[in-house]
């Protein structure tokens, strides 16, 4: 996941440089204008900051690197906002009154502006930083729930970019940044759509307040019960399990299970079961040979009605199972050809070295 984030952010942001400097005061002032007021203390002699950034609507995203190890002490906030920090390389240690975290590639940390943080950037660390105004988050919360939270929004601070939510976050971030950084017809409208989707995804994936709204005092039990339900489903994908089986194993009622599953995955428990089966089938077909039997693969993963399977597969992936199998077989053949070519080239080089 970290590689996927770096794959598109670095080429995109390199086109939008805002600062290149080794002067401590200049770096601090420019970064403070974009993010938050702070004290900057280099811990080495080779400071070489690079700041790149784009902005569309109310969201701004930057890519920041100091080159050298530095300490950042936040002072006073310039407004009410969240900073989402996601390292592309290196690591950053973060401390505040609520706790401490280490962010590295594949993870991120949410920093609210209502408390100061101390950040220790390691040498070579590069981060993508998204600045989100709290006012807009409150508006999106109201759109999702029809209510005002009544107290400050609470968030799970750590972001797992390797999770399903993290992969979706990466896709939304990429879409937003491409619209902001590469102007196109109606790009401003696309950026607005992506902006709304980013903030709503942030609330659904990370907001404790949103979960408490839907689950009340039982909020703390939701992740554990859902995790048990999903683990049970994944362990029994080949079998004919029922909704009652899933609910019993997760230790919750049918109604609560369905509600939690719908909020977390946008699907009922049984639809989640079907989706996971389809995902496994697709993985197998993509790595299968051309003579693999689609029906056998489908039945092995619990599909006994092949007509319904084919319809569900096409609906989820936009192609027939046979098309996936053929594409997978072609990829396998191409890999074999390339591997064979590399072997021949390596042998030829070895022979040439011996002859010389």
Q: What is the pLDDT of residues 161-210, one digit of tens each?
A: 888 888 899 999 999 999 988 878 888 889 999 999 999 999 999 998 98
Note whether 194 and 249 are same-domain residues: no
> How do residues 219-273 score in pLDDT, each as one tens digit?
555 567 888 999 999 999 989 899 999 999 988 889 888 888 887 777 899 999 9
Confidence check: pLDDT of 92 > 70: yes
Confidence check: pLDDT of 149 > 70: yes
Look at 74-78, 283-287, 343-347 and tell me which has the smallest mean pLDDT. 343-347
Note whether 258 and 314 are same-domain residues: yes
Question: Residue 128 has what pLDDT?
Answer: 96
Confidence check: pLDDT of 341 > 70: no
Rounded to the nearest integer, the mean pLDDT of the chain is 86
Note whether 196 and 238 are same-domain residues: no
- List the structure tokens of 88: 């592309």
> Does residue 29 or residue 7 have the better pLDDT?
29
The residue among 61, 79, 68 whose CA lies nearest residue 27 is 68
- Looking up residue 188, the CATH number of its domain turns out to be 2.60.120.10
Asked if residue 109 belongs to a domain, the reply is yes
HSE at residue 278, side-chain half, CA atoms within 13 A, is: 21
- Is 103:85 a contact under the CB 8 Å cutoff? yes
Note whether 57 and 136 are same-domain residues: yes
Confidence check: pLDDT of 115 > 50: yes
Q: What is the DSSP letter of 122?
A: P
Whole-number Cα distances in Å, 301 to 256, 281, 308, 322: 27, 7, 14, 16
Note whether 244 and 187 are same-domain residues: no
> Does residue 338 or residue 72 have the better pLDDT?
72
Q: Is 112 helix (H, G, I), strand (E, B) or coil?
A: strand
Whole-number Cα distances in Å, 110 to 113, 160, 162, 202: 10, 11, 16, 10
Asked if residue 102 belongs to a domain, the reply is yes
Note whether 198 and 230 are same-domain residues: no
Question: Residue 332 has what pLDDT?
Answer: 62
Asked if residue 344 belongs to a domain, the reply is no
Q: Is-above-0.75 flag for pTM?
A: no
pLDDT-derived band at 311, boundaries 50, 70, 90: very high
**How long a stretch of residues is the chain?**
356
- List the structure tokens of 2: 């970290």
Confidence check: pLDDT of 302 > 90: no
Question: Residue 269 has what pLDDT?
Answer: 93
pLDDT-derived band at 347, boundaries 50, 70, 90: low
**Residue 293: Cβ-neighbour burial (10 angstroms; 0-12, 13-18, 19+):** exposed
Helix (H) or strand (E) holding 101: strand 99-103
Asked if residue 31 belongs to a domain, the reply is yes
- List the structure tokens of 103: 């962010």
Note whether 174 and 52 are same-domain residues: yes
> Under 8 Å CB-to-CB from 338, ≥6 apart: which residues?
none
Q: What range defines the domain where residue 83 resides?
A: 2-206
Looking at 164, 186, 206, the residue that finishes a domain is 206
Look at 76-85, 95-104, 119-128, 204-213 and tell me which has the smallest mean pLDDT. 76-85
Percent of the chain with pLDDT over 90: 49
Confidence check: pLDDT of 350 > 60: no
Question: Residue 1 has what pLDDT?
Answer: 46
Q: What whole-number distance in Å separates Cα of residue 317 and Cα of residue 99?
A: 42
Q: In the block, which residue shows the tokens 């989402």?
A: 84
Please count the structural domains in the chain: 2
Rg (CA), the chain: 25
Looking at 206, 232, 256, the residue that finishes a domain is 206
Question: Residue 344 has what pLDDT?
Answer: 46
Crossing angle of helices 208-215 and 187-206, rounded to 10° = 60
Looking at 206, 229, 255, the residue that finishes a domain is 206
Note whether 160 and 225 are same-domain residues: no
Note whether 140 and 226 are same-domain residues: no
């Amino acid at each position: 996941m970290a590689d996927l984030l770096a794959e598109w952010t670095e080429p995109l942001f390199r086109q939008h440089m805002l600062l290149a400097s080794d002067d401590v005061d200049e770096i601090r002032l420019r970064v403070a204008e974009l993010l938050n007021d702070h004290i900057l203390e280099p811990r080495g002699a080779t400071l070489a900051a690079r700041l790149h950034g784009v902005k569309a609507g109310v969201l701004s995203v930057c890519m920041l690197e100091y080159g050298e190890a530095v300490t950042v002490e936040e002072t006073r906030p310039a407004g009410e906002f969240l900073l989402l920090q996601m390292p592309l390389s290196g690591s950053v240690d973060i401390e505040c009154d609520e706790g401490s975290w280490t962010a590295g590639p594949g993870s991120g940390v949410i920093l609210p502006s209502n408390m100061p943080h101390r950040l220790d950037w390691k040498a070579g660390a590069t981060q993508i930083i998204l600045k989100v105004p709290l006012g807009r988050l409150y508006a999106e919360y109201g759109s999702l729930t029809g209510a005002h939270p009544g107290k400050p929004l609470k968030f799970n601070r750590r972001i797992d970019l390797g999770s399903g939510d993290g992969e979706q976050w990466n896709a939304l971030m990429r879409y937003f940044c491409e619209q902001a950084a590469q102007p196109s017809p109606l790009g401003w409208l696309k950026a607005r759509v992506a902006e709304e989707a980013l903030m709503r995804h942030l609330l659904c994936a990370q907001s404790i307040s949103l979960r408490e709204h839907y689950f009340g005092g039982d909020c703390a039990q939701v992740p554990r019960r859902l995790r048990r339900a999903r683990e049970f489903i994944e362990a029994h994908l080949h079998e004919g399990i029922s909704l009652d089986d899933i609910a019993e194993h997760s230790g919750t009622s049918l109604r609560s299970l369905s509600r939690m599953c719908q909020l977390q995955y946008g699907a009922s428990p049984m639809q989640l079961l079907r989706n996971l089966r389809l995902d496994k089938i697709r993985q197998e077909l993509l790595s299968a040979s051309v003579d693999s039997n689609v029906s056998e693969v489908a039945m092995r993963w619990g599909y006994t009605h092949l007509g319904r399977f084919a319809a569900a597969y096409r609906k989820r992936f936009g192609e027939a199972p046979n098309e996936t199998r053929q594409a997978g077989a072609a990829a396998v053949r191409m890999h074999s050809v390339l591997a064979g070519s590399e072997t021949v080239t390596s042998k030829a080089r070895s022979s040439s070295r011996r002859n010389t």
